[in-house]
Amino acid sequence: MDMELNTVLVALMFVTILSMGIGNILVTLADVFNHATRSRRSGVHVAWIVLLLLVHFNLFWQTKALVDREAWQFGDFLLVIAGPVLMFFATNVLLTAPSERESVDLEKFFAALGRRFFLMLVAVQAWILVVAFTLMGGLSSGDTFNIAFGVLPLVLMLNSAHRIQVAGVAVAWVLALLGMVLRGVGLIT
pLDDT value for 146: 87
Please give the model's pTM, rounded to 2 decimal places: 0.90
**Whose CA is closest to 153, among 127, 177, 121, 175?**
121
The series of mean pLDDT values per 10 residues for the chain, 189 residues long, is 77 92 94 74 94 91 75 89 95 92 89 94 93 85 86 94 96 93 86
164 domain residue, yes or no: yes
pLDDT value for 119: 95
96 domain residue, yes or no: yes
72 domain residue, yes or no: yes
How many CB atoms within 10 Å of residue 178?
Answer: 13
189 domain residue, yes or no: no
pLDDT value for 71: 80
pLDDT value for 31: 85
| Domain membership of residue 118 as a residue range | 5-184
Name the strand (E) or helix (H) holding 1.
Answer: none
82 domain residue, yes or no: yes
pLDDT value for 121: 95
pLDDT by residue (tens digit) across 136-181?
888 888 888 889 989 999 999 999 899 999 999 999 999 999 988 9
pLDDT value for 156: 96
Is-contact 172 161, C-beta < 8 A? no
Rounded distance, CA 87 to CA 135, Å? 19
13 domain residue, yes or no: yes
Residue 101: DSSP 8-state: T
The number of folded domains in the chain is 1
77 domain residue, yes or no: yes
85 domain residue, yes or no: yes
DSSP 55-76: HHHHHHHTHHHHHT-----HHH
